[in-house]
Amino acid sequence: MFSIVAILVALGLSGAPALPQQPVAADAAVQATVASAGFKAAVAALDRDFDRHVAETIRLTEIPSPPFKEAERAKVYLELLKQHGLTDVEMDAEGNVMGLRRGMGSSTGSAPLIVIAAHLDTVFPAGTDVKVKRTGTRLAAPGVGDDTRSLAVLLAFIRAMDAAKIQTKADILFVGNVGEEGPGDLRGMRYLFTKSKYKDRITAFISADGTGTGNTITTGAVGSKRYHVSFKGPGGHSYGAFGLVNPAFAMANAMKRFGALTVPKSPKTTFSVGVVGGGTSVNSIPFETWMDIDMRSESPAELQKLDASFKTLVAEAVAEENAARSTAQGKITVEVKLTGDRPSGETASSQRIVQIASASVRAFGLTPSLTFSSTDSNIPISLGIPAITLVAGGTSDRAHALDEWIDVEKTSSLRGMQIMLATLVTLAGMQ
Amino acid sequence: MFSIVAILVALGLSGAPALPQQPVAADAAVQATVASAGFKAAVAALDRDFDRHVAETIRLTEIPSPPFKEAERAKVYLELLKQHGLTDVEMDAEGNVMGLRRGMGSSTGSAPLIVIAAHLDTVFPAGTDVKVKRTGTRLAAPGVGDDTRSLAVLLAFIRAMDAAKIQTKADILFVGNVGEEGPGDLRGMRYLFTKSKYKDRITAFISADGTGTGNTITTGAVGSKRYHVSFKGPGGHSYGAFGLVNPAFAMANAMKRFGALTVPKSPKTTFSVGVVGGGTSVNSIPFETWMDIDMRSESPAELQKLDASFKTLVAEAVAEENAARSTAQGKITVEVKLTGDRPSGETASSQRIVQIASASVRAFGLTPSLTFSSTDSNIPISLGIPAITLVAGGTSDRAHALDEWIDVEKTSSLRGMQIMLATLVTLAGMQ
C-alpha cells in the first residue's frame, strides 16, 4: 500500500433526500454496533491494550520480510495467531499464515466467511536496516507502516473481541499474507482465492493496509503491468571494441523516453523504473543490462495506451542504438518479459461492504473517501467478491522509502482502528 | 588487454639511410640470439612442448579469477612456478605470485632485473562458466586469451630456456600478477613497482598480454579515468509517490548524453558504461541508482576534455530531472567517485627495449607496429622504466565478451612466442 494521493470520491451523506436507502440502513446497522455494550468493551480493551499494540508493531517490523522471504516473519506471526486462541491456525502452501475465529453459524458449515488480511512482505531487500527508531509516538523504519502495523492491528482486534466476548454470525479468517509487494504479484491472495480450502467460501474481504486517518476506503483496484526488460548485445572490451553497440545506451534511451511520457492525472496513471542492473566490469561493454518497470492506471484503457507507448519506445531505443554504433559483432536485442499483471476493477459503492465501511467512517465523525489503489483487494475484486482496503488510523509517510515512518499517536490511531473494527463486526453480524 | 584496434605506427625498416643507428645494432643483437644454438634448442623445446602449453592454457582458464578474487588461480600458478625450479618463489602482500630465474651476475647482487608478467585476473565475475570449449585448435572461454594463455606462455619459456640451458646476464622475474582488469586498477603492478622488494631493481618490463600475430608492440600507455557515479533521491512508492524525481531517469539522461558524445578517432579516445545497478523493488522509486563508467585516450589532453564533458553532462542530467519532476521530498544528488586513474605516457621508440622488440619482430619476417593500450605497462611507463606489452602469437577475438576465443594453431602461435622469447633473452643478455 502507499500514501493515498488518489482521487477522492466523496460519498453522499446520510439523510440527503436523493440518495438510495442503503446508506441509511448501513448507518443504522453501524450505529447499533457502535452503541452496543460489546463494542464499547472492545474499544476499552483496544485502549488498555494500546502499548502492547505498539510493542508488537515494533517487534514485527524488526523481523525482515523481503518479497519471497517472508518465512521468518510468517513463523512468528503464526505463533502469535495460535497464542490468540484462533482455530485452524496454519501456513498454506503459498506461505500465508491464518487462523479462524469461529462465528455462531460455524457448526453448520454454511456460515459466511469474512477474511481480514494484512501483508507480511515489505519492499525492502535482505540486509536493509529494519531497526525501529522511535521518537515519542513516531516510529521510523522501512516497512513499519506498509504493512507491518496492520499485522499488529489484527492481533489487537482478536484480543479486543475476546475481551468483550463478541460473537459474530460469520466466521472471520485472520490472515498474514505473502506477496503483496512488487515481484510477489499478489501471489498470497491468488492462492487464497483460487486454490486454498477457503476459496469458495469467502463472502467479503478486508485488506488492512497502511496507516492513515481512517476515512479512506479503497474500492477501486488500480491495474498494473510490470516488465523485466533486458537489452542484450555482443559486449566487448571498452577500449578495444569501442564503437560497438552498448545495451546500456539503448536502455538509457528507453528510460529517458519513458520518463518523458505524459499521463493523465485523472484517471490516475503512473510509471516508474524501479530496479536496474547489468554489466560485468567497468572496462567491458555489457552483454546485458536490464530494468524492472511498473505502470499503473485506474483506467484499463489508459493502462493499455501506456503499455503500447512503452513497447514502442523500447523498440525505437533499440533501433536507434543499432543505428548509432557498429553492429559488426551483433545487434542489440531486447526481451520484454511480463512479470506482473494486476487486474483492475471496482467494488461498486452500492455493495454492502462499501456501505458499511462508509457508515463506520461517518460514525466516527469523518467523511468517507472512496479511492483507487493496487492492493491485495485487486484479486477478490477481479473475481467479483466484495472487497475493500482500509487503513488503521494514525499518520504516516514515505512508504517504500528508507525513511518510512508512522505516528502512533493514540487518539487518531484508535479512531482508525475503531472504524475498521466497526466495519468488520457489523459485516460479520454481531450478536 | 584487448584486440588491438589502435593506431599502428610502422617502425622504420633497418637499412633505410635516414634512420638512427640503434635499429641496426638491435637487429644484429637479435639475429645473434636467434642464430645461437641455445635459442634454437629453446625453440625446439617450445615445439616439442606445445601440447603441454595448450593443456596448461586450458587448465588455468578453467580456474575462475575475477578481479580481487585471483587467489585460487594464484595458488595454482605459484605451485607451477615452484615446479619449474625458479628461486624466491612467493606471493607478495598484494597477491602477485612470482619466481626468479637467476642470471650470471646474480651473485653480485647488482645484476639487472628484467620482469616479464602475465595477469591472473579476468573481467568475468564469479559464477561465469569458464569451461573451455575446444574445436580443433580453437579454444573458446571467458578469459582464455586475456590473459590466461600468457600465463602458460611464461611457463613454456622457463621450460624451453632450461631445456636449452640458456643462461642470461640479467635476473629474470616471472610474474603472475593481480589487478590488471577493471576495478583492479593495476594494483598488482603498483605494488611491484612501488612497494615490493624488487621495486628499485627493475631495469625493464615486458607485459605478456593477449594473443595476436606477434608484430604489435605496445609502447604507449592509454590513460583512463573511471568513475562510480551514484544518483540519489528521496525514493518512494511507484504509484503513491508518482511525480517525485527518480534517480533512474537522471541516470538515463546522463547515459544518453554520454553515449552521444563525439570523440576523435586519433588520438584514439573512447568511453563506455560498463556496469549499472540500483533500486530495491519494481514498485518503488529507487533511492539510488549507479553506473560504472570508463573513459580512455592516447592523449592526456583529450582525456581531460572528455572528463570535463562527462562531469558537465552529469550535472546537467541531474538538474533536468530536478526540474522535470517534484523535489517536494528531496532532490536528486549525485556523487562522482574516481575508481580508476591510469597514467598515460610512452616508452620512446629509441629505447633499447623497443628497438630489440622491433628487431625480434623483423627477425621473424613481420613488420613491427607500435601501439597505445592500457595494460600493466602503464605503471612502469609512468615511472620512467622502459616497458612494453607484447602478444604471444596466434589469433583471438572477443576479449571481455562471453564468447571470447583464441586459436592456438601451432605455426602462428609458436612464431609469436619466439618473437617474445627472442626479445626477452636478448634484453637479458644471452650467454
Which chain B residues are closer than 8 Å to A279 by Cβ?
273-276, 292
- Residue B374: which of A181, A236, A239 has the nearest Cβ? A239
In A, minimum Cα distance to B404 occurs at A236
Residues forming beta bridges with residue A233, ordered by sequence position? none
Residues of chain A with pLDDT under 70: 1-22, 106-109
What is the rounded distance in angstroms from the CA atom of residue B155 to the CA atom of residue B77? 9
A277: which chain B residues are within 8 Å (Cβ-Cβ)? Answer: 276-278
CB A246 within 8 A of CB A289: no
- 5-34 of B, contacting A, C-beta below 8 A: 5
Write the CB contacts of A246 (distance below 8 Å, at least 6 apart in sequence).
A233, A285, A286, A321, A325, B259, B272, B273
Question: Between A and B, how many CB-CB pairs are < 8 A?
Answer: 289
**What does the pLDDT profile of chain B (431 residues) look like in tens digits?**
543 333 333 333 333 334 444 577 999 999 999 999 999 999 999 999 999 999 999 999 999 999 999 999 999 999 999 999 999 999 999 999 999 999 987 665 678 999 999 999 999 999 999 999 999 999 999 999 999 999 999 999 999 999 999 999 999 999 999 999 978 989 999 999 999 999 999 999 999 999 999 999 999 999 999 999 999 999 999 998 999 999 999 999 999 999 999 999 999 999 999 999 999 999 899 999 999 999 999 888 999 999 999 999 999 999 999 999 999 999 999 999 999 988 888 999 999 999 999 999 999 999 999 998 889 999 999 899 999 999 999 999 998 899 999 999 999 999 999 999 999 999 999 87
Residues B160 and B104: their CA atoms lie apart, in Å, by: 18
User: Considering only CA atoms, which of B349, B362, B394 is closest in space to residue B136?
Assistant: B394
- Is residue A276 within 8 Å of residue B276, measured between CB atoms? yes
**Owner of C-alpha cell 615511472:** B383
Interface probe for A, chosen from B187, B211, B280, B339 (most Cβ of A below 10 Å), is B280
Phi (first) and psi of residue A113, to 5 degrees: -125, 120
Helix (H) or strand (E) holding B294: strand B288-297
A235–B400 C-beta distance less than 8 A: yes
Pairwise CA distance, residues B373 & B371, whole Å: 7
CB contact under 8 A, B293 and A282: yes
* DSSP 8-state assignment for residue B184: G
Cell numbers describing residue B51: 601440447
The C-alpha cell at B375 is 595494460
Of residues B5, B251, B275, nearest to A281 (C-beta) = B275
Residue A125 with chain B: CB contacts under 8 Å: 280-281
Q: Which three cell numbers stand for residue A399?
A: 512508504
SS3 label, residue B369: strand
Give the ranges where B136-184 is alpha helix by DSSP (H): 149-163
Q: What share of chain B is helix, strand, coil (3-state, %, to 5)?
A: 35, 25, 35
Q: What's the rounded Cα separation, in Å, for the pair A59 and A371? A: 31
3-state secondary structure of B103: coil
**Residue of A207, A202, A208 lying closest to A171 (CA atoms):** A202
Q: Which residues of B138-148 are buried (b: 16+ CB within 10 A; e: fewer)?
A: ebbbbbbbbbb
**Per the structure block, which three cell numbers stand in for B37?**
644454438
ipTM of this model?
0.70
The cell for A252 is: 538509457
**Quick one: cell of B259?**
553515449
Query: What residues pair up with B293 in beta bridges, in sequence order?
Result: B227, B273
pLDDT digit string, tens, across residues A392-401 = 999 999 988 9
SS (H, E, C) chain A: CCCCCCCCEECCCCCCCCCCCHHHHHHHHHHHHHHCHHHHHHHHHHHHCHHHHHHHHHHHHCCCCCCCCCHHHHHHHHHHHHHCCCEEEEECCCCCEEEEECCHHHHHCCCCEEEEEEECCCCCCCCCCCCCEEECCEEECCCHHHHHHHHHHHHHHHHHHHHCCCCECCEEEEEEECCCCHHHCCHHHHHHHHCCCCCCCEEEEEEECCCECCCEEEEEECEEEEEEEEEECCCEECCCCCCECCHHHHHHHHHHHHHCCCCCCCCCEEEEEEEEEECCCCCEECCEEEEEEEEEECCHHHHHHHHHHHHHHHHHHHHHHHHHCECCCCCCEEEEEEEEEECCEECCCCCHHHHHHHHHHHHCCCCCEEEEECCCCHHHHHCCCCEEEECCECEEECCCCCCCEEECCHHHHHHHHHHHHHHHHHHHCEC
Mutating which of A222, A237, A298, A313 best tests the B interface, going by the most B Cβ atoms within 10 A?
A: A237
Distance CA(B204)–CA(B388), nearest Å, equals 9
Cell numbers at residue B209, please? 598480454
By the 8 A CB rule, do A400 and B285 touch?
Answer: yes
Measured distance CA(A205)–CA(A195) in Å, rounded: 16
pLDDT at residue B105, rounded to an integer = 74
DSSP symbol at B196:
S
Q: Which residues contact A152 (CB under 8 A, 6 or more apart)?
A: A53, A54, A56, A57, A60
Long-range contacts of B395-398 (CB under 8 A, 24+ apart): B395/B211, B395/B212, B395/B213, B396/B3, B396/B145, B396/B146, B396/B210, B396/B211, B396/B212, B397/B3, B398/A234, B398/A235, B398/A236, B398/A329, B398/B3
Testing the interface with B: which of A230, A280, A296 to mutate, by most B Cβ within 10 A?
A: A280
Give bridge partners of residue B371 from the DSSP assignment: B218
Identify the DSSP state of B279.
-
CA distance B133 to B243: 50
Instruction: Collect all residues of chain A within an 8 Å Cβ-Cβ radius of residue B129.
Output: none
Supply angle C-alpha B277, B282, B288, rounded to 5: 40
Task: Give the distance from CA B59 to its chain's centroid.
Answer: 21
Do residues A29 and A358 lie in contact, with contact meaning Cβ atoms separated by under 8 Å? no
Minimal CA separation from B274 to chain A, in Å: 4
What are the C-alpha distances in Å from A35 to residues A50, A109, A327, A367, B197?
21, 30, 75, 20, 88
